[in-house]
Amino acid sequence: MSTTTTVPSPRTTATETRLFPVPGDVRDIGLLLTRVLLGVILIAHGWEKLVTNGAGATGEFFDSVGVPAAQAAAVFAGVVELAGGILLVLGLLTQVVAVLVVVVMFGAYLFVHQGAGIFATNGGWELVAVIALAVAVFGLVGAGRFSLDALIARRRAAGARRTTA
């Protein structure tokens, strides 16, 4: 008579990678606060492009720095920042927002900030890099428990459990 023992795959076993583990509630509150602040920053930048300066003036600036299809790009960037910021605050469609914001920040880097060094005070790329990296982290790790993405995922999982039970 033989028995087999199942050994968990290293890929499915959770491994703690932090030197000082953080309780889940603290982690999720930190993700919420960071997500909301990043969202507010994006909302402010999108509002500036679309309302304060206006899409027309933003398009003229984009044209002056060589952005192709400058007027369309200005509206795209403003909408991505404004709507993406709102969605980020809500924690909704976070992965989609992350991809779109990274694209906009990469464009800002290429056309406006690349040649100005690192420091934002000199027109450098540090702010667009931090925004792109921060939103990319949310795209990779998720918006956290206190988000609409998490609520939808929990409801979807509960519905799947009901249909298989």
Tokens of 107: 């464009």
Residue 23 has pLDDT above 60, yes or no: yes
Whether the pLDDT of residue 154 is over 80: the answer is yes
Q: Note the pLDDT of residue 112.
A: 95
Residue 148, H or E segment? helix 148-164
Phi-psi category of 91—alpha, beta or left, where left has phi over 0 and alpha has psi -120 to 50?
A: left
Whole-angstrom Cα distance, residue 156 to residue 147?
14
| Measured distance CA(17)–CA(141) in Å, rounded | 14
Which pLDDT tens digit goes with each residue over 70-88? 999 999 999 999 999 999 9
How far apart (Å, rounded) are the C-alpha atoms in residues 49 and 111? 16
Token output for 14: 């959770």
Residue 144: exposure state from Cβ atoms within 10 A (0-12, 13-18, ≥19): buried
- Residue 4: its pLDDT value, please? 54
Burial of residue 28 (number of CB atoms within 10 Å: 0-12, 13-18, 19+): middle
Q: Where are the domains of the chain?
A: 32-152
Asked if 47 contacts 76 with a C-beta cutoff of 8 angstroms, the reply is: no
